[in-house]
Structure 1
């Protein structure tokens, strides 16, 4: 049972780590500019799926819109002929909320691994003392 808990929590750790990676990538590119006639940075979103009794897994990633938001900045080196620059349409507060959820999920599953390991070690100790 403890080994099952470690395996299942391990799959969740992987999903939460990938989620954290995508949020960090989104936040680090929130001010990435592109020419007005180009594509904006596309935010990455992790798609997780239940794997039955085997835990969860990353089913893939979904990309946000390449349309972004057009900002008139004629002095920007990437400005197009009309003076527009394209920025990603990433909501920082939404990303920060996702960051907190992913971080807490990672911490909770790491705690499950620790508790399961302690339980497994206690069971081994009982077997040695008998």
Structure 2
């Protein structure tokens, strides 16, 4: 029974991590046209302590340090003397691909959670007989 409960915890931690990842991806997509915005990235860490060992947690949120795009628009109030300003470093294709990956990973964890829940319910039904 503890293995089933541990599986529920593992799956739930994966869903929580992917939900946080999706939140940051959606922030990146929403700010793709914001001048000076740097893309946020998250990393996942494996918990090594106690009952939660093996679960996933989100590490620090980091800003992507790649170069910001230079946009030539002399009419923009942010433009310098040459008419350029810095855009964001968000690539929508990469963000959408990452969002799909996070969504699929979330769905896989959800299916695992549901399977463990069904197995737990079946076990409890057997024990009631």
Give TM class, smaller chain: 0.7 to 0.9
1:92-107 matches, within 5 Å, as 92-107=92-107
- Per the TM alignment, residue 124 of structure 1 is displaced from its structure 2 partner at its CA by 0.5
Q: Is 1:27 matched with 2:23?
A: no
Write the deviation string for residues 15-73 of structure 1: whole angstroms up to 9, x where unpaired. 1011101111111111112xxxxxx1111001101224431111211111274111110
- 1:42-121 equivalence runs, <5 A: 42-52=38-48, 53-65=53-65, 67-121=67-121
CA RMSD in angstroms comes to 1.4
Please state how far the C-alpha of 1:80 moved relative to its aligned partner: 2.5
**SS of the residue 1:76 aligns to:** coil
C-alpha spacing 1:66/1:97, structure 2 compared with 1 (3 Å):
closer
Paired residues, what number? Answer: 123
Q: Are the aligned partners of 1:8 and 1:56 in contact in 2 as well (CA < 8 Å)?
A: yes
Cα separation, 2, equivalents of 1:102 and 1:88: 22
Kept in 2, the 8 Å contact 1:32–1:41? The answer is yes
Moved over 3 A (4+): none
- TM-score (norm. length: structure 2): 0.88
Moved more, 48-57 or 87-96: 48-57
1: CA distance, partners of 2:44 / 2:121: 31
Distance 1:90 1:123 in 2: 48
